[in-house]
Each structure stands twice: as structure tokens, then as C-alpha cells.
Amino acid sequence: MPNSEVFTQSIEIQADLEVVENCITDITLIHQWLNPVLCCEPLDKWSMDLGNQANFIIKIPIIMPTLLSTVVVREAGLLVWEFSGFFTGRDHWEYQTIINGTLLLNRFEFQIPNPFVFWGFNAFARGLTRTDMQVQLQRIKIIAEAIQSDYK
């Protein structure tokens, strides 16, 4: 993606790959780790099938900025959402088995076509977005490890 920005974060989780995958694909679990100012609403029945769509809405009164997200890649160890709206880009979720569990990588690649929105993002949200990605991964880790310990 030309002129795109990329934020990448990763975390090691002491849980099986299937548990971690469930944390990033199950809508109930997603709402447990997603930033509370965000809401994910499927356009139809919730699914991770190719072509499935959902709106990710930022709960800012009056304007409620929304990204239309579509599952564009779904294969073993990889889920990619492509989004459009005030941002355009892709949100990659890669996960692979490691010795003590699973390595989860989140790569957020995006462009902001509107100069006003780009300015606002740089002025107010750039650092918050990076921090939020780290916090989300920490929340996923906590949830996945709690689920894993319930299986033992």
C-alpha cells in the first residue's frame, strides 16, 4: 500500500493456538479485549468466512466514525481484515505455535486519505493508537491464558 503507515505489535501467550485464535475470532471474546470506545457490529451473521463484513465504530458522540471491515484472508494462522472509511487499510492477525504457547502478531497497515482526518490523527490519536494496540494484546493474553487454565 503506497504511503501507508504500519504499526506492528506482538506478544507471547501461554495458551494453545486454538485458544488464541478463538480470542480473535469469537465476537463475545472480541468485545472483552476491544477498546471500550470501539464497537464491532456484524452486518449480517457473525462469521470469519471470506467476505464477511462488520462495522467497527468509534463511540464519539454525534460523528461516530465507522470503518467497514471485510475478511479478505482466512487461513491457518492468519486472519486479515480489510477496511475502508475514514482510514483505509488492513488489520493482520498472525498466530503461530511456539514452545510455551502461541506468538500473536498484530500488524495494522493504513492510509488516511482525508488531510483533515490525517492531521487530527497525527495530533491526537497516533500515540493512543499504538498504546491501544499494546493494551489489546495484553487483554487478549489475559483472556487466552485464563481460558487455557480452565482447560487444565
Q: Are 111 and 89 in contact (CB under 8 A)?
A: yes
pLDDT of residue 152: 59
pLDDT of residue 24: 95
Q: How far apart are CA 31 and CA 91, in angstroms?
A: 17
- Domain-located, residue 144: yes
pLDDT of residue 117: 77
Q: How far is CA 96 from CA 30, 34, 69, 117, in A?
A: 19, 21, 23, 35
> Residue 8: its pLDDT value, please?
93
- Structural domain contains residue 59: yes
For 23-82, the pLDDT digits (tens) are 999 999 999 999 888 889 999 999 999 999 999 888 888 888 888 999 999 999 999 999
Q: Is 94 domain-assigned?
A: yes
**108 lies in which domain range?**
7-151
State pTM to two decimals: 0.88
- 4 falls in which pLDDT band (50, 70, 90)? confident
Nearest by Cα to 36 from 52, 12, 60: 60
pLDDT of residue 114: 78
b/e 7-16 (16+ beta carbons within 10 angstroms → b): bebebebebb
Give which of 12, 22, 30 is closest to 96, Cα–Cα. 12
Q: How many domains does the chain have?
A: 1
Quick check: 1 pLDDT over 60? no
86-140 confidence digits (pLDDT tens): 788 899 999 999 999 999 999 999 888 878 877 777 677 677 778 888 999 999 9
Which CATH number do you get for residue 88? 3.30.530.20
Answer for the pair 96, 77: CB distance below 8 angstroms, yes or no: yes
In-domain check, residue 2: no
Q: What pLDDT sits at residue 115?
A: 80
Task: Find out whether 96 and 102 touch, Cβ atoms under 8 Å.
Answer: yes
CA distance 102 to 124: 33
Q: Give a yes or no: residue 1 inside a domain.
A: no
